[in-house]
Amino acid sequence: MTDTYNDRQTDIQVKNNILASIVVVVVVVVEVVVVVVVVVVVIVVIVVVVVVVVVVVVVVVVVVVVVVVVLEEVVVEEEEEEEEEEVEVVIVAVVVVLSGT
């Protein structure tokens, strides 16, 4: 009877050791999967942030270029208008001088 009891106890210990080993393997696998998922998520977040920053920089540069071009056109138009006014003043002065003679 003692031998049977000891055999059962040994069988139970072996089964417990096997179950403990399986649990340890499962826990390690789960931890590795979690770490891999976290690393992938961090990499994706970094890539998204970099893409957003690049898009914002490109948009800002485009807006600045458009504003500069528009302002240059406005300045050029104002200078042309001033030149036209000067020409008109000269023409009027010439007409006045000629009509006075």
The gap from C-alpha 36 to its chain's centroid, in whole angstroms, comes to 23
Q: Would the pTM count as exceeding 0.75?
A: no
pLDDT at 9: 85
pLDDT at 2: 62
Residue 1, helix vs strand vs coil: coil
Question: What would the pLDDT profile of 13-69 be if each residue is shown by its tens digit?
Answer: 988 899 999 999 999 999 999 999 999 999 999 999 999 999 999 999 999 999 988
Average pLDDT over residues 80-101: 68
pLDDT at 4: 81
Count, residues in the chain? 101
